[in-house]
């Protein structure tokens, strides 16, 4: 066949992969060009992997073994001894080192023809020019907030006059024996914000339980975070990425647990509760990472249609998968152009409404600033504006806005403003 790559030493590793690339299949895109051009395109595709943890290790390994040659990885975390049971690219001697650097070195040691460039830090520290250089972005994150941020950033980058500005996002996530993989084409398909209500926030524990009768180790950790921190360190903003802050919370939670004879408080659990980290199981990570890399391979080569657009997996009792197309929402605050309707009680206070935004599955906003077209309802910062708008907090919504009025909401964790249409209960 014309253009088929011969199997010298450089391609022997990929001889089974190349069977998909050297000839068209029944579902191949009509524009698919088999052979050397597609293989070269795969090798030249610059891919960014976000996260080098449980999913990230599997994804990096799979990409390198699938023919990708230019891979970048970003992660802000360092290796903890608790990672070693499932994050197989790390060893005991690597504890304390940056995950991105060690993962990159571990993979390239075995796949010497692959280049992996590590970045240590937060994804929020990179600008649009950084993300514009990649052909595909793959998320292996354990944080919904981080997913929402990169989703909004990629949607905001799209320029209709520049097709290269559209960066496909392949997102994988796991929770115990459950997981999902999804393909997002920013502005064209359902985005992560459209699907936010599928990832409801963790149910809140009543403060009275935390303060008086904790029954679970998680209650002790929540007590340390909400009550103890406010009592002892209220002048310091809690940074969930600061090891000293996490250690302080862990020590307080551990003492609290001993007081009530509650076993099970660990440093790892403290991190998970405080940062709302989703627990991971190695086998689930492997399955979801394989699905994500399969989609990246199809996007880079056009050898088969990509997933449209959501695959869910569960392995609780048996192995079960289900694929469906999640529809784009016209009132999505990121990729839509309509305000999202929220039904509220006009007798509810502004403070109660602000608190509810953190609990509503479709919002999940922790520090919202609210305003209407004509007035400022409440500002979280700067302090002068917070003090000026604070008297609105005990006022009822019916006193501040009219039925059906739109409000703008911003949150420091996100790069976009949200629009909500507040409709009063009849």
320-353 pLDDT per residue, tens: 999 999 998 888 888 887 788 889 999 999 999 9
The whole-number pLDDT of residue 26 equals 86
The whole-number pLDDT of residue 2 equals 43
The whole-number pLDDT of residue 7 equals 47
The whole-number pLDDT of residue 6 equals 47
Q: Which segment of 64-73, 274-283, 315-324, 379-388 scores lowest on mean pLDDT?
A: 274-283
Q: Exposed/middle/buried for 26, CB within 10 Å: 0-12, 13-18, 19+?
A: exposed
Question: For residue 56, what are the contacts with CB-CB under 8 A and spacing of at least 6?
Answer: 49, 50, 73, 75, 99, 103, 140
Q: Average pLDDT of 394-420?
A: 86
pLDDT in tens, 77-89: 999 887 888 899 9
The whole-number pLDDT of residue 281 equals 85
Q: Which segment of 105-109, 221-225, 257-261, 356-360 scores lowest on mean pLDDT?
A: 356-360
- Of residues 208 and 76, more confidently modeled: 76
- Whether 413 shows a pLDDT value over 80: the answer reads no
The whole-number pLDDT of residue 10 equals 65
For the chain, percent of residues with pLDDT exceeding 70: 94
pTM summary value = 0.73
Strand 340-344 versus strand 417-424 pairing type: parallel
pLDDT in tens, 1-12: 445 444 455 678
Q: Which residues are catalytic?
A: 208
The whole-number pLDDT of residue 109 equals 93
Model confidence at 101, pLDDT cuts 50, 70, 90, reads very high
pLDDT in tens, 216-255: 999 999 999 989 998 999 888 888 888 999 999 999 999 9
The whole-number pLDDT of residue 11 equals 75
Q: Average pLDDT of 162-179?
A: 92
pLDDT in tens, 24-58: 888 888 888 888 888 999 999 999 999 999 999 99
The two tokens of residue 336 are 């839509």
The whole-number pLDDT of residue 411 equals 84
Model confidence at 19, pLDDT cuts 50, 70, 90, reads confident
Q: Average pLDDT of 293-301?
A: 94
Model confidence at 203, pLDDT cuts 50, 70, 90, reads low
């Amino acid at each position: 066949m014309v253009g088929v790559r011969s199997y010298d030493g450089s391609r022997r590793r990929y001889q089974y992969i190349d069977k998909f690339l050297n000839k068209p299949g029944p579902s191949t895109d009509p524009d698919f060009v088999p052979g050397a051009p597609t293989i070269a395109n795969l090798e030249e595709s610059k891919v960014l992997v976000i996260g080098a943890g449980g999913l990230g290790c599997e994804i990096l390994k799979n990409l390198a073994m699938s023919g990708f040659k230019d891979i970048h990885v970003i992660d802000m975390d360092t290796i903890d001894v608790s990672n070693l049971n499932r994050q197989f690219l790390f060893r005991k001697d690597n504890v304390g080192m940056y995950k991105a650097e060690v993962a990159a070195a571990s993979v390239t040691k075995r796949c010497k023809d692959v280049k992996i460039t590590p970045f240590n830090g937060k994804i929020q520290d990179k600008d649009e020019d950084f993300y514009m250089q990649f052909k595909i972005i793959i998320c292996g994150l354990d944080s919904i907030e981080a997913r929402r941020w990169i989703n909004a950033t990629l949607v905001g980058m799209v320029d209709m006059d520049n097709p290269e500005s559209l960066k496909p996002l392949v997102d994988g996530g796991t929770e115990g024996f459950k997981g999902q993989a999804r393909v997002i084409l920013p502005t064209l398909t359902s985005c992560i914000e459209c699907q936010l209500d599928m990832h409801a926030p963790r149910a809140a524990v009543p403060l009275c339980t935390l303060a008086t009768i904790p029954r679970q180790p998680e209650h002790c950790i929540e007590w340390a975070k909400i009550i103890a921190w406010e009592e002892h360190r209220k002048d310091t903003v809690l940074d969930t990425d600061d090891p000293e802050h996490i250690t302080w919370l862990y020590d307080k939670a551990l003492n609290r647990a001993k007081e009530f004879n509650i076993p099970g408080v660990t440093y790892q659990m403290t991190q998970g509760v405080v940062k709302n980290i989703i627990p991971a199981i190695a086998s689930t990570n492997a399955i979801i990472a394989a699905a994500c890399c399969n989609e990246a391979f199809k996007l880079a080569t056009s050898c088969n249609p990509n997933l449209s657009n959501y695959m869910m997996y569960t392995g609780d009792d048996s192995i079960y998968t289900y694929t469906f197309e999640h529809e784009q929402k016209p009132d999505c605050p990121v990729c839509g152009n309509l305000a999202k309707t929220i039904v509220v009680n006009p007798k509810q206070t502004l403070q109660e409404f602000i608190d509810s935004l953190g609990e509503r599955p479709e919002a999940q906003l922790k520090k919202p600033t609210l305003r209407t077209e004509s007035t400022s309802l409440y500002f979280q910062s700067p302090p002068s504006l917070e003090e000026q708008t604070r008297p609105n907090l005990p006022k009822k919504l019916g006193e501040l806005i009219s039925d059906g009025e739109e409000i703008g909401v911003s949150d420091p964790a996100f790069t976009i403003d949200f629009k909500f249409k507040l409709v009063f209960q009849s």
